[in-house]
Structure 1
Amino acid sequence: VFIEPMFVVVIMAIASTRPVVKVSEQLLGLAAGLGGHSKAAWWFSILLIAPLLGSFITEPAAMTIAALLLANQFYKHRPSSGFAYATIGLLFVNVSVGGTLTHFAAPPVLMVATTWDWSMGFMAANFGWKAALGILISNVLYFIVFRGQFAKMGKDEVKEASEEFHTPEVQKLKPGQMSHDEFEAMWAERETTIPWWVTLVHLCFLAWTVYTAHYPALFIPGLLFFLGFMSLTATHQNKVELKGPIMVGFFLGGLIIHGGLQAWWIAPVLGSLAEVPLMLTATILTAFNDNAAITYLATLVPNLAEASKYAVVAGAVTGGGLTVIANAPNPAGQSILGRFFEHGVNPLKLLIAALVPTIIMGLCFMIL
């Protein structure tokens, strides 16, 4: 019964490890290198590739990587409020739809994939390429609007580098002079090289988990072996993060336990709507609920038409960037980027910033 929540815990735990995160960052760096590692190239590659990468390393891991890179490359330069909100709104929408290339990375898809027998090929053919196109269109549009910001931030970075060059070097603390938290933070941010074979083993465990997604008796022992491997290669690892994955797993488990109690009203509502109204309803409901909750409730509707299944999932992933609570990875992005916004991320401004890419994605799913 709880196969999907258990799978999410395992896949998120593996995908958020240092070797997987680093290889993902390197891929983004290669893409940014095509544009000379300029600010514009980094912005475009982060907001294009990271969300699509979420289809393979899971959306929460993609959100974490993208948010960290955006913080380092852009938000620390204190961009305008418009650019800051446009970027985080675009990030939330792109990550929400970017996980639809596969059937295991996005929680709203994962909750229906087994019940409706949706495979990776089905997702890529019916959702993935449309999501990729929508992400590209949204990125190009926002890039055109804010292209002046990139040149300004590039100049500011050169100025900061010059000032730092003329500033006397601050004496670095030794590990014995640091608090435990300071040492943990320094250790997590180290830039030491990870051996290729360590990264390869991590990717193999990731692939094993995906391959055995329907068999907890196989992927849970796989996690135990993986934790053992992490212990053996601790020099190249960061502290394994299980809190986030377990919390998401409990949330999805709660949907399974309590979701059935909502069938008395959700079944008539979803079953009575045509495709377009159903998609719009799912998009709006997602803004006030988690999109995985919307799609799970749709599985409780008996004999739901194939077109309606498509509409409810398309609507749920489309609306995943409108609010922080609309998609499970959004709080992770907010926790990383929220400090760059005065008084935190404003819900109304986030909604406005995410509205345009949400409409673009909705049109892509409706028309194409």
Structure 2
Amino acid sequence: MFVKILATTLFAIAVIHTFVVKKFAQWAHHYPQGSLQENLLHFLAETEIVFGLWASVMFLAYAAAHRSIHHAVEYIETQLDFTEPKFVLVVMVVAATRPVVQLAERLILSVARLLPLKENVSFYIATLAFGSLLGSFITEPAAMTLLAMLLKQRYFDRGISSSLAYATIGLLFVNVSIGGTLTHFAAPPVLMVASKWNWGFWHMLTNFGWRSAAACLTSTLVVTTVYFKQLNNLQPPTESRQFIPAWLTGAHVTCLAAVVYFAHYPDVFFGVFMLFLGLVTATREYQEALKLKEGLLVGFFLAGLVVFSKLQAWWLEPLIQNMSSSMLYYGATALTAITDNAALTLLGSQVPNLSDDLKFALLAGAVSGGGLTVIANAPNPAGAGILQSSAAFAGDGINPGKLFLGALFPTVVAIAFFWLI
């Protein structure tokens, strides 16, 4: 029990750390450039290292508590599954390549042109209302990576206000979280329960899918209306797109599809990844620098969450068992803000004899709150890693408090469609 309490304490410290990363960045400026103090504070200001850093402390504490490093290694090797962090690392690198991003942009542009609006406005709507639903088919991490890349190029790096930047990233995080519920095989929180509860494609589409699509569209239209003038006045992108051979785009899409198909078999999708790296090297004239650093940081972040999540069951399971369906829905929405929603649904699936109402409440609440913080949904760190260096955030990264406020409205809309309607 001591280890579990220690794990929860360190987990709470890590959560607090994510909310004060900006302070570390500010303190770093008080020291000479290149000094040890400045480098250390900048390191502590990286959101993606927070949970990996405190998970390392947890590993040492676990070893000390058992007076054996082997016990800590055994816990990591035999009781935890790091497939998801590995998958997010690989799919983020593969999805963020120039051929895949340009293909996604063309597909979203084709939807945008159906709307009688200027391209900047119509592309914004198409990306956030319809693009977010791609998470139900190509997995949420891949969808998040693609959408974040497109939004960065077209909006975040083009002088939008801080207010619009936080409204957009909040909308992106919430819509991707709920947009993965049209199917039973693509969103991490859905994967944790679909097989055990015998939820198939039709069940997800009729119980969750239409709600998520309606919520995504409603939230996006409202945010677009509020910021219409700013979006409408943005200059359309003028940079020319490099020609990418169709066969190369097809090869990239094939690699992405293979990684997604073998998402539960890390040895296989890492083999695909090795072949993909060879392809990129051989066609470097059509490529940009791979997002290896971003992918590694996000994978490290999620691996830290995995280390902590299993040791939170001692207080989460009793809490879930003693809730009504309404309490469970709102409780899951709130709890998701401080723990990964896939971990929450996994723990909930282990509670025996849950009624259908409680099952719906648990998953609906977990995805509804998936945009409130960077740690609420596994793909969020991927989006944050891509967007935090944008001009819109003035080089200071993403402020967790402002992210929470930016995600609040689309979260309320999600609550309305998933629970009140």
Work out whether the TM-score is over 0.5: yes
4+ long deviations beyond 6 Å: none
Counterparts of 1:107 and 1:24 in 2: how far apart (Å)?
22
- Show the counterpart of 1:94: 175
Instruction: Kindly provide the CA deviation profile for residues 31-78 of structure 1, in whole angstroms up to 9, marking residues without a partner as x.
Output: 233346432212212212321223333333433433343344334453
Q: 2:337 aligns with which of 287, 305, 330?
A: 287
CA distance in 1 between partners of 2:288 and 2:195 (Å): 33
Query: Structure 1 residues 270, 347: CA separation in 2 closer, same or farther (over 3 Å shift)?
Result: same
Distance 1:302 1:128, change over 3 A: same
**Closer, same or farther: CA 310–248 of 1 in aligned 2, 3 Å:** farther
Q: Determine the C-alpha separation between the residues in 1 that align with 2:256 and 2:397.
A: 34
Shift of residue 21, structure 1, vs aligned partner: 1.8
Equivalent residue, structure 1, for 2:65: none
Cα distance in structure 1, aligned partners of 2:156 and 2:401? 20
TM-superposed CA distance for 1:131, in Å, is: 0.9
Determine whether 1:341 maps to 2:393: yes
Corresponding residue number in structure 2 for 1:205: 255
Segment of structure 1 superposing worse, 239-248 or 298-307: 239-248
Q: Structure 2 counterpart of 1:202, which letter? A: H
Q: What is the distance in 1 between the residues matched to 2:161 and 2:364? A: 32
Alignment partners' CA distance in 2, 1:351 and 1:311 = 22
Deviation at 1:208, TM superposition (A): 3.2
Q: Is the Cα contact below 8 Å between 1:100 and 1:123 reproduced in 2? A: yes
Counterpart position of 1:143 = 224
Contact 2:295–2:382 (CA under 8 A) maintained in structure 1: no
- Report the Cα distance in structure 1 between the residues aligned to 2:304 and 2:160, rounded to whole angstroms: 39
Displacement after TM superposition at 1:192 (Å): 2.0
Q: 2:184–2:204: 8 Å Cα contact kept in structure 1?
A: yes
Contact 1:259 1:297 in 2 (8 A): no
Equivalent residue runs for 1:346-365 within 5 Å: 346-365=399-418
Per-residue Cα deviation, 1:155-211 (whole angstroms, up to 9, x for no partner): xx39x99xxxxxxxxxxxxxxxxxxxxxxxxxxx98322211222223233333444
Take 1:213 and 1:319, find their aligned partners in 2: how far apart are those partners? Answer: 24
Aligned to 1:223: 273
Q: Secondary structure at the match of 1:363?
A: helix
Counterparts of 1:5-154 in structure 2 under 5 Å?
5-34=85-114, 35=116, 37-151=118-232, 153-154=233-234
Q: What does residue 185 of structure 1 align with?
A: none
CA contact (8 A) 2:101 2:149 kept: no
CA gap of 1:307–1:19, structure 2 versus 1, over 3 A, is: farther
What SS does the aligned partner of 1:325 have? coil
* More divergent stretch after superposition (348-357 vs 330-339): 330-339
2:223 counterpart SS class = helix
Structure 2: unaligned runs, 5 residues or longer:
1-80
Which structure: greater helix fraction?
1
Q: Work out whether residues 255 and 296 of structure 1, in 8 Å CA contact, stay in contact via their aligned partners in 2.
A: no
Deviation per residue, 1:14-45 (Å, 9 max, x gap): 33333222211111222233346432212212
Query: Is the CA contact (8 Å cut-off) linking 1:96 and 1:320 kept in structure 2?
Result: yes
State TM-score, norm by structure 1. Answer: 0.77
SS at match of 1:238: coil
CA distance in 2, matches of 1:68, 1:134: 23
Counterpart for residue 235 of structure 1: 285
The answer to whether the 8 A contact 1:108-1:291 is kept is yes
Range that drifts further, 249-258 or 83-92: 249-258
* Percent sequence identity over aligned pairs: 47
1:166 maps to what in 2? none
Gaps of 5+ in 1: 162-188
Q: Distance in 1 between matches of 2:260 and 2:153?
A: 31
**In 2, Cα distance between the equivalents of 1:306 and 1:222?**
39
| Alpha carbons of structure 1 residues 255 and 328: separation in structure 2 relative to 1, 3 Å | closer
* Inter-partner Cα distance in structure 2 for 1:231 and 1:217: 21
How far apart are the structure 2 equivalents of 1:346 and 1:5? Answer: 24
Q: Structure 1 269/345 Cα, relative in aligned 2: closer, same or farther at 3 Å?
A: same
Q: Distance in 1 between matches of 2:335 and 2:292?
A: 29
Distance 1:130 1:101 in 2: 9
- Shift in alpha-carbon separation, 1:255–1:331, aligned structure 2, 3 A: closer
CA contact (8 A) 1:42 1:73 kept: no
Amino acid at match of 1:317: V
Secondary structure in 2 matching 1:273:
coil
Aligned mate of 1:312, from 352, 362, 382: 362
Distance 2:85 2:382 in 1: 18
Give yes or no for contact 1:321–1:327 (8 Å, CA) kept in 2.
yes
In structure 2, distance between residues paired with 1:11 and 1:303 = 36
Contact 2:92 2:291 in 1 (8 A): no
TM-score by length of 2: 0.69
